[in-house]
Amino acid sequence: MKYRSTRGERQELTSADAVIRGLASDRGLYVPEEIPALPFAIKDMLEQPYTAFAEKVIGAFFDDYTKEEIHSCVQNAYTNTFEAKEIVPVVHAGDAWFLELYHGRTAAFKDMALSILPYLLTTAVKKQHDDHKICILTATSGDTGKAAMAGFADVPGTEIIVFYPNNGVSQVQEQQMRTQEGKNVHVFSIEGNFDDAQTGVKTIFQDPDFAAELDAKGIRLSSANSINIGRLVPQIAYYVYGYAQLVKQGAVKDGDPVNITVPTGNFGNILAAYYAKQMGIPVKKLICASNQNRVLTDFLTTGVYDANRDFYQTNSPSMDILVSSNLERLLYHLSSDDSSEIASLMQSLDKDRKYEIPSSMKDKLSLFSAGSADMKETDAAIGEMYKKNHYLMDTHTAVAYYVYEQYRRETGDETPTLIASTASPYKFADSVAASIGLPKAENSFRCIDEVAEETGVPVPASFKGLESRPILHDQVIKVSEMKNAVADALK
Ligand SMILES: *Cc1c(COP(=O)(O)O)cnc(C)c1O
């Protein structure tokens, strides 16, 4: 299996090489030349643990890794790092099945991929007989940063540098990042929003002089953002696993269709669901859920992507995004691999923050349905679900549930639906507490205590004692200072 850039760079790479590079030099994203078929029959896998699905699905995409290498990456990633013994529980509540992806070290779904990426990456470096140190550079809207730090902390041969927007993450997320231990960990708060942080990181990646400077020091930059194919592929496994669990639980017969609803920001998680469908999972609709930053809802309904709009800070901050990087991969597939078309669309995006796809591509958007929820609707969804079913959703998952219910009402489509449940409710405890009718507490940590007392839902182990851990990172910098910060960190 070879990988190539969405924007037409000629070179074909092995997956190991694509994982190391992160982003192509023409600024495109790496995509597999073809999507492999499921390497097993669902009915033969019903009794298998999550790790068996992960090995087979990841192995199908990353076939230049040996079986033993993939086995060891998967075992290292998922052994004793998740609190739920199933790793990904599938829970029926209300009108849907929740694929609970948040039982890892940082209580968000990003742990699913970021627990394994360090192993995929260090294995890739060994395979290529490359002796560079890998420096992971990451912009985060809150959850990626912490999950990347937890995954990479003290992994030999790596450094990890994280930038987060100073006013765009929750108190708990910020505390998680500022208290992260690890000799190779560097964290900066930047004056700006997530898009500023992401643009800053991309600019550093595209600076050939800086790359040469670092190369001379034996350092190579790579990315833990979902633009890295090593982040994306491990996420496909849980949709395949989720489908098998629905079959096992009797919610669908093997081969019958399901819908999948995903709360979406950078379009990575829902793209993984798209790949699961291409592998052979029978998906009828992929339902893309946005918060008030509904640029994707508008795109999927009109074919026009327009980031010229107000940016809202919402109570689902990991989806407060106006430029969804991974959409580029979907466009590439929808265009039947027409990389010059993609290069030109992305050029318009850079220049005008806007593009419109041709009608041949628009026709293929019918696989998707899309909708959005504002903050009030999100809170109401949390409150109602808790009242009726005693099931607690975080704000991101609640956006998905709201959009799914709206879809169901409008279409009458009762196909069993998996909802990607992307964070522990305790990660966004302020909103969750208010939504279930608790009085305003003094801060987020008190909210956690109160939600726990009221609901009896267990608090993730990594949150215990978080409030009083020592602050190890407290630098706030300007976007223009990001490159210097990287140079200093790597001195
Ligand atoms: C990152 C994140 C999302 C959005 O995922 P994308 O892959 O960026 O679409 C949704 N919910 C939570 C809790 C997240 O951390």
pLDDT at 233: 98
Segment 140-185, tens digit of pLDDT:
877 788 999 999 999 888 999 999 999 878 888 899 999 999 999 9
Pull the structure tokens for residue 29: 């994203």
Q: Which residues of 385-411 are buried (b: 16+ CB within 10 A; e: fewer)?
A: bbeeeebbbbbbbbbbbbbbbbbbeee
In sequence order, which residues have a C-beta less than 8 Å from that of residue 428 and are 6 or more positions away?
170, 172, 315, 316, 394, 395, 396
Q: Is residue 269 part of a domain?
A: yes
pLDDT at 363 over 80: yes
In angstroms, what is the span from residue 55 Cα to ligand 1's centroid? 23
Measured from CB, residues less than 6 Å from any atom of ligand 1 are 108-110, 143, 226, 263-269, 318-319, 396, 422-423
Kindly give the distance from the C-alpha atom of residue 285 to the centroid of ligand 1, in angstroms, as a whole number.
19
Check pLDDT > 80 for residue 71.
Answer: yes
- pLDDT recorded at residue 398: 98
64: left (phi over 0), alpha (psi -120 to 50) or beta: alpha
Closest C-alpha to 311, from 299, 322, 297: 322
247 pLDDT higher than 90: yes
- Determine the atom of ligand 1 nearest the C-alpha atom of 142: 15
- Does 273 map to a domain? yes
Task: Tell whether 28 is covered by a domain.
Answer: no
- DSSP sequence for 425-457: GGGGHHHHHHHTTPPPPSSHHHHHHHHHHHH-P
**What's the CA-to-centroid distance between 317 and ligand 1, angstroms?**
9
Beta-ladder partners of 5: 30
CA 244 to chain centre: 22
**Rounded to an integer, what distance in angstroms lies between the CA atom of residue 178 and that of residue 472?**
6
**Owner of token pair 């409150």:** 383
**Given a cut of 90, is residue 456 above it in pLDDT?**
yes
**How much of the chain exceeds pLDDT 70, in percent?**
100
**Ligand 1 probe mutation, 267, 320, 422, most atoms within 8 A of CB:** 422
At residue 359, the pLDDT reads 96
- In angstroms, the CA 404 to CA 83 distance is 28
Residues 441 and 432: beta-carbon distance below 8 Å: no
Task: Report pLDDT for 167.
Answer: 80
What CATH number has the domain bearing residue 103?
A: 3.40.50.1100
Question: Mean pLDDT lowest for which of 196-200, 261-265, 400-404?
Answer: 196-200
For residue 304, being part of any structural domain is answered with: yes
pLDDT for 441 equals 92
Catalytic sites, residue numbers = 110
Looking at residue 227, its pLDDT comes to 85
What is the number of residues in the chain? 491
Question: Which amino acid residue places its CA nearest to atom 14 of ligand 1?
Answer: 318
Q: For residue 215, what are its two tokens?
A: 């190369």
In a domain, 338, yes or no: yes
Tell me how far CA of residue 84 lies from CA of 104, 107, 135, 460, 489, in angstroms. Answer: 8, 11, 31, 10, 36
Q: d(Cα 452, Cα 450) in Å, to the nearest integer? A: 5
Mean pLDDT of 85-104: 98
The pair of structure tokens assigned to 452 is 């726990």
8 within a domain of the structure (yes/no): no
- Distance (Å, whole) CA 164 – CA 154: 21
Range of the domain at 434: 90-107+230-463
Cβ pair 326, 271 in contact under 8 A: yes
Give, for ligand 1, the residue of 266, 299, 431 to mutate: max count of ligand atoms closer than 8 Å to Cβ.
266
Is 431 a domain residue? yes
* pLDDT above 90 (res 211): yes
Query: What is the tens place of the pLDDT at every residue in 376-415?
Result: 999 999 999 999 999 999 999 999 999 999 999 999 999 9
- Ligand 1 midpoint to CA 264 (Å): 6
Please, what is the angle between helix 171-178 and helix 143-152, to 10°?
Answer: 20
* Lowest pLDDT segment from 81-90, 119-128, 372-381, 392-401: 119-128
Task: Please tell me the distance between residue 140's alpha carbon and the centre of ligand 1 in angstroms.
Answer: 10
Using a 10 angstrom Cβ sphere, with 0-12 exposed, 13-18 middle and 19 or more buried, the burial of residue 40 is: middle
Question: What pLDDT, on the 0 to 100 scale, is given for residue 466?
Answer: 93
**Average pLDDT over the chain, rounded to whole?**
95
Could you give the number of structural domains in the chain?
1
Question: Please, what's the largest Cα pairwise distance for the chain?
Answer: 61
Ligand 1, atom 2: nearest CA belongs to which residue? 318
Contacts of 21 by beta carbon, 8 Å cutoff, 6+ apart: 13, 30, 222
How much is the average pLDDT of 334-342?
97
Cα angle 157, 163, 167 (rounded to 5 degrees) comes to: 155
Is position 206 within any domain?
A: no
